Amino acid sequence: MFRHYLTITIRNLRRDLGYSLINILGLGMGIAVSLLLFFWVRHELSFDRFHTDAGRIYQIAFNFPADNGQYDTWTSAPAPFAEKIGEEIPEAEAALFVSFPRQLAFQKDQTPYQEKGLYVDKSFLDVFAFPLLEGRKEGLLHQPGFIVLSEKLAEKHFGAGWRGQAIGKTLEAAEDESYTVSGVVANPPPNSTLQFDFLLSKEDYLSKNPWDSQWGNFSSRLYLKVKNGTDIPGLEDKLIGLFRKYKGNEERATISLLSFPGRHLYSKLENGKPVGGRITYVRLFIGAAAFLLLIACINFMNLATARATRRSREIGVRKVVGASRGQLAGQFMSEALAIALIATGAGIALVELLKEPFR
């Protein structure tokens, strides 16, 4: 029976080739575009979730009263705050300083080139899951004058055979500076908000920018990894109390702890609360993908119904020669299923062709 249905299905599809192509192309394009949109949505939703215990990592934000009665939210913080949090807040498993991205000029064979990196606390690789490919984690980023390279920068500076060759070597930088390579980490994945080609210690940063060691300079980012079961609102109150202890004169300021995995999607803040950002586009694209797929399916059904109406004479003849209602339904279902499978395959093939350019 299956072979009979298949033979007739192929014959009918070939006989009405124009209809078949229109249906396959319409449904296939709908599937392809919907899949591409869903892939983009999945990528957006995956940002920063690869870190171990990502749900326990937060960024500190300060809220200062504005003239309009609202609060201005700053996602920068004073550098010395991280150390005091580590010393005096037991709920903090780790508190770390991370600079905003900085450009640094290096030299190779007398040719200068620039790379972008971060100045970070020594616990950076304990909190954020960037795998260490070479070097020892103990003591890494503890001292000034040492640099951790990304895999990309290691290959750029030392060549494809950098493994076993980079550690202990010196990189010449601008202004007669030099750094000793102490480690190489995997390249940050595309779904990481923290992108860098190198890491340098906080001590290196403060030696170049001594004014940033003052409590009044909000020029860096601070992250917390909290212990399991921590009461976040209670911790926010503790943190602002600690800040006032050392800074003073900030009675109306408050602190918000922003979920690190949510920062990519909720970058728009009002009064210390995430209210929007790329999540708007994510929701829009989810709706668009679902709508396109629905329209493609409705179009497929309408064309199938119209074709069935055109084949009423064929149906009558089949009934006369003894075909049952079940056999007729099976034949039409097999034809619809064949078109749907071909369209799905075409859609997936189109996705494979467009996946790399789409990225």
Residue 225 in any domain: the answer is: yes
Q: Which residues of the chain have pLDDT under 50?
A: 1-2, 4-5, 317, 319
Indicate whether 36 and 63 sit together in one domain: no
Residue 180 in any domain: the answer is: yes
**Separation CA 23–CA 220 (nearest Å):** 56
Residue 273 in any domain: the answer is: no
Residue 233 in any domain: the answer is: yes
Query: 272-279 contacts: CB < 8 A, separation 24 or more?
Result: 272/61, 272/63, 272/71, 272/73, 278/44
Indicate whether 196 and 257 sit together in one domain: yes
**What was the pLDDT predicted at 16?**
63
The separation between the first and the last C-alpha atoms of the chain, rounded to the nearest angstrom, is: 45
Indicate whether 78 and 161 sit together in one domain: yes
Residue 203 in any domain: the answer is: yes
**What was the pLDDT predicted at 322?**
52
Which tokens sit at 52?
Answer: 């171990």
Indicate whether 117 and 242 sit together in one domain: yes
Buried b (16+ CB within 10 A) or exposed e, 336-354: bebbbebbbebbeebbeee
**What was the pLDDT predicted at 199?**
97
The domain boundary, picked from 263, 294, 321, lies at 263
Q: Which has the closest alpha carbon to 234: 355, 91, 40, 117?
A: 91
Indicate whether 67 and 167 sit together in one domain: yes
In angstroms, what is the C-alpha Rg of the chain?
30
Indicate whether 7 and 70 sit together in one domain: no
Indicate whether 58 and 38 sit together in one domain: no
Which tokens sit at 329?
Answer: 């339904």
**Tens of pLDDT, residues 104-118:** 998 888 788 899 999
**What was the pLDDT predicted at 107?**
85
**What was the pLDDT predicted at 189?**
96
Residue 275 in any domain: the answer is: no
Indicate whether 91 and 221 sit together in one domain: yes
Give the total number of structural domains in the chain: 2
Residue 159 in any domain: the answer is: yes
**What was the pLDDT predicted at 9?**
56
Which helix (H) or strand (E) segment is 275 a member of?
strand 273-276
Indicate whether 216 and 107 sit together in one domain: yes
Residue 112 in any domain: the answer is: yes
Please give the residue range of the domain that contains residue 20: 2-44+280-358
CA angle 208, 213, 214 (to 5 degrees): 135
